[in-house]
Amino acid sequence: MPAGELYTVAPVRGATKSDTAESRTKQKEYQLIQVKNTWCCVENGREIPTTWKEDQVIVSQAKIGEAVTESGVSWTVKTPIYFCYKVTETQNLLDPTNMTLLYGHLSDPQEVHVYQKKIQKRFIVMDMTVEKLYGSKVRKYFEANNVNYKLLSLQTTEETKSMELVLTILEEIHKFGIERRTEPVIAIGGGVCLDIVGLAASLYRRRTPYIRVPTTLLSYVDASVGAKNGVNFCNCKNKLGSYTPPAATYLDRSFIQTIPRRQISNGLGEILKMALMKHMGLFELLESHGKYLLDTKFQSRNGLVSHGDAALTATRLAIQTMLEELAPNLWEDDLERLVDYGHVISPELEMKVLPALMHGEAVNIDMAFMTYVSYESGLITAEDKRRTIQCMRILELPVWHKDCTLPLIKKALDERFKHSGGKLRLPLPTGLGIAEIFNNVKEETIKRAFERWTKECQESST
């Protein structure tokens, strides 16, 4: 129904439809104004009463529409939803003299001053593996800053990513007790940990602020920078969730140095996604420096940041291009999203073979297949295809999997068609670093792509 068309009355004999609507429907729109803690409706176009002092008046961006018909009244509420969150690079986050973890989410210096006058209270959730590595440093940090804290260590994996774990977190938060707006929950871990804690925070008191501290490369460039959080349900990946961004995300690359090489490669899958979709320069950097990034685990030379730092450039470009796509569409009102590249078939594959494939690996297998779909559709050249697959191998990512069968692919595409408004909405590269959304990919093309993909990639992947 078009905006403003709240109610339609069938025309009476002898009258036009517009005449009838005008005579039988009365519409008004009101702005909302607060005076001494009370909100009032003032019809658009009318002056604010002179008895209301200017310094006591607050005008909201929300509006209320009213349509009066013979059947009754219909109200329409138009209200903007505003979120502001920070994604901040930092170093030595767990140094007790670094106040970022405690106050970095605050923008107003006066607000920081007020916070510092009282004992701070924080509830922290850490992945169990991360807690073994950094738990003592986290405890020392909060103790040195006289913070009343509770640290909950949990096993956060795709197998445990469930509402049961969310409820466990919520029960512990409830026991500990936090102030719903001034004491953010802190999540320290990989993407699964960040997703679970984000969902718990979005549910507790309907929305409690939380802070993300990613400790894997994948979560550093992907899970930590957007608004989504969620858990698996009915053997479906992230079937339950919400769009509630954190108050802040703090990016400290030093955490990445303790993760295994396979997890570095796993994160590179998401970085490559953004390169293939949006940034030729990032793709060329991965081509030329991929092995170096794997070998150095994204650590800067001698711990110093320089303008020629490949790790810094790669992560910044991945995050910038990701935010460019997410910020205008944070709640995914538009389902045609370039960032869905690699996420069409991979959820089905990942859940089927769990825990054999990591998320970025499943995403890359999806991207490898879709590279062949692009090639068979005439969107990219044979050289583009070769360079793409070669780059994936440089990054030590799988390009084929025996369980990614043609029936699984067709099932995943059918699901996407059903749940995307009767459209495929396939993000496909049209070159290196450029892409478009396509809805007209034919079944024969999918079959040809699968046959060529299997022929060219299977042998080298076994």
- Catalytic sites, residue numbers: 228
**Residue type, position 263, single letter:** Q
**Residue type, position 186, single letter:** I
| Burial group, residue 282, by CB count within 10 angstroms (0-12, 13-18, 19+) | buried
Q: Where are the beta strands (DSSP E) in 247-369?
A: 248-251
Sheet holding 26-35, edge to edge: 38-43, 26-35, 57-69, 72-78
* CA neighbor of 237 nearest in space, from 114, 336, 362: 362
* CA neighbor of 371 nearest in space, from 348, 351, 397: 397
DSSP symbol at 48: P
Side-chain half-sphere exposure of 226, counting CA atoms within 13 A: 24
- What is the radius of gyration, based on Cα positions, of the chain? 26
Q: Which two tokens stand for residue 170?
A: 């919520």
Residues 6+ apart with CB under 8 A from 431: 379, 380, 384
Residues 6+ apart with CB under 8 A from 348: 408, 411, 412, 415
Q: Where are the beta strands (DSSP E) in 234-294?
A: 236-243, 248-251
Q: Are 41 and 32 in contact (CB under 8 A)?
A: yes
